Copies of this chain bind each other. A is one copy, B any other.
């Protein structure tokens, strides 16, 4: 496990260079910090690094000692690599003790960087475990209100035209701890890590649906997985025809078993439960199937007594991943506030960061390329002067939608919520450097 302090330790007594330009309250810095030629920044960070050299592994005289791993040949080649034994970054499992295949595992987003989620750390949500599918015996049936029912082997599908897209998938239940009365005492990934981002490659679903020939009266498509509960969900035909993909590959290689091997329905920008894993059946109908997971679950009871249903879309969200709850800031000085933003409705156009609990905001730098329905990494320079601070981030997407404060989300949805929580997240930094999840 990456030490939480990795990002925020070891540089003693950072001087605050005059060129680190404040842009909002609490020490937020102009994004020139991220310009390639950061001469001014360098001046501000320099002294610490020079001082840090005074340790046993490297004398302070400008030379290096020879470490033990340079005194002997290294390990041989490997057919399939693994992380260093010094890294213990893993998914955090939260499963039903009585039904071990029912539950979730969280992507440790606060221990990752960039935008790609390694496939081994992609979040899991299973209702009855991971089926061990032999692809030679797997079939996809398209039937119901079609001109001709069609059945495909995995090899059949692999011969169709493909496309690749960098797309996030987020569980509709992600971040649901936000509905609780008290803030969950967990780091970012174990509150918001039911979201992951991969390059998915597969066959545009429209090609197969047109091959089967959809009855014009068909308005819904029911997708069924080959797991032991035969997980089943309904999607409008319009979505199926518009941009769904029958994915065979994830991050270059065949989809991992826990993410739907050998075939997953990817519904870009829509909640994870619709991205049916181990896909085996697509039935065209004129009404939704009204399964448990689209009636009693993945819906929201509003204050009016009515319930929101078929709330497919993932609205814009952002979360600061570093610093995060549980960390301790080792001292004052320069830090990078880094996080992820995403929207199911398109591109993230703006992420603002506040260090004073929302009184003032400044634009974070967005890592290019900013792609639609893909994780966007944002970064913000921050000079922490040691005073208590509250860090927040706020995403805006290309539809103009702005991520709401928690109070606004609660006012709209009430206290019966469980799904689709996307409010602004706040981390409080106390004078002793401890970082805590707060509602603020």
Q: Contact residues of A with B, CB < 8 Å?
A: 2, 5-11, 33-34, 36-39, 41-43, 45-46, 48-50, 52-53, 55, 57-58, 60, 62-64, 67, 69-87, 89-91, 93, 95, 99-101, 103-105, 111-122, 124, 126, 128-135, 137-139, 141, 143, 148-156, 158-164, 199-201, 204, 206-208, 210-211, 226-228, 230, 241-243, 248-249, 251-254, 256-259, 261-262, 280-281, 334-336, 338, 367, 369, 371, 377, 379, 381
Contact = CB atoms under 8 A, between A and B. Distances in A.
Nearest to A53: B151
A248 B113 contact: yes
Given A156-B52, A158-B6, A252-B117, A137 B57 contact: yes
25 contacts: A37-B241, A38-B207, A49-B156, A49-B208, A57-B137, A58-B141, A58-B151, A69-B226, A69-B227, A70-B226, A75-B257, A76-B100, A77-B101, A78-B93, A80-B90, A80-B120, A81-B91, A81-B257, A82-B120, A84-B256, A86-B262, A115-B164, A121-B253, A161-B379, A164-B377
Contacts of A60: 151
A251 B116 contact: yes
A377 to B, nearest CB: 6
Contacts of A48: 156
B73 A258 contact: no
A131 B63 CA distance: 20
Contacts of A79: 90-91, 93, 105
Contacts of A153: 10, 52, 55
A367 B164 contact: yes
Given A73-B128, A77-B95, A253 B156 contact: no
**Most chain B beta-carbon contacts within 10 A, residue among A53, A243, A251, A259:** A251
Contacts of A103: 77
